């Protein structure tokens, strides 16, 4: 996959100030957000939970990158990303997560998307924007440029 395809991947939702007590509650919220945004069919949130039970999607620096299992790609409608920032860090498999960038994309695109999201971690200014900006447009721009 080329970078051009990743750059055209839509940011379907930017949510700031979300409350969640557990990662399971956070995943349920994110799944609902992906459904509401038109990225996925109902049932994808179950796939998010199933993927998380296999291995934590915690990436580091207070960020998780939840995504569904590849066998559930048939639930994708309009692939995209959903960004969620929590009001207080959510316990996440022994870590604390403040930011989630959920991926709703076909299996063939996951590695490239994950690599580009991981690149955010080496750009402190980008990470600072994701952590603090109140402007969904600015957050969307950072995610598209990742």
pLDDT of residue 112: 87
pLDDT in tens, 68-126: 999 999 999 998 899 999 999 999 999 999 999 999 999 888 888 888 888 887 888 99
Question: What distance, in Å, lies between the first and last C-alpha atoms of the chain?
Answer: 15
Please say whether the dihedral angle defined by the alpha carbons of residues 143, 146, 134 and 94, taken in this order, is positive or negative.
Answer: positive
Q: Sorting pLDDT into bands at 50, 70 and 90, what band is 7?
A: very low
* Whole-structure pTM value: 0.91
What is the set of domains in the chain, with CATH numbers? 3-145 (3.40.930.10)
pLDDT in tens, 114-135: 888 888 878 889 999 999 999 9
How many other CB atoms are there within 10 angstroms of residue 98's CB atom?
Answer: 18
Average pLDDT, the chain: 91
Q: Sorting pLDDT into bands at 50, 70 and 90, what band is 145?
A: confident
Please determine, for residue 33, whether its predicted confidence score (pLDDT) is greater than 90.
yes
Segments of 19-146 assigned E as strands: 58-60, 63-64, 80-92, 95-104
pLDDT of residue 34: 96
* Helix 23-36, helix 44-54: angle, nearest 10: 150
Contact 76/39 with Cβ under 8 angstroms?
yes
């Amino acid at each position: 996959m080329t970078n051009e395809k990743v750059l055209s991947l839509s940011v379907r939702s930017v949510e700031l100030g979300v409350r969640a007590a557990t990662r399971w509650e956070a995943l349920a919220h994110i799944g609902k957000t992906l459904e509401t945004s038109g990225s996925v069919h109902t049932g994808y949130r179950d796939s998010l939970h199933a993927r998380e039970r296999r291995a934590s999607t915690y990436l580091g620096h207070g960020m998780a990158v939840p995504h569904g299992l590849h066998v559930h790609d048939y639930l994708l409608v309009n692939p995209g990303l959903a960004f969620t920032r929590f009001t207080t860090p959510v316990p996440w498999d022994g870590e604390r997560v403040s930011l989630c960038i959920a991926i709703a994309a076909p299996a063939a695109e996951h590695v490239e998307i994950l690599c580009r999201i991981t690149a955010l971690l080496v750009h402190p200014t980008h990470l600072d924007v994701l952590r603090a900006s109140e402007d969904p447009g600015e957050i969307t721009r950072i995610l598209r440029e990742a």
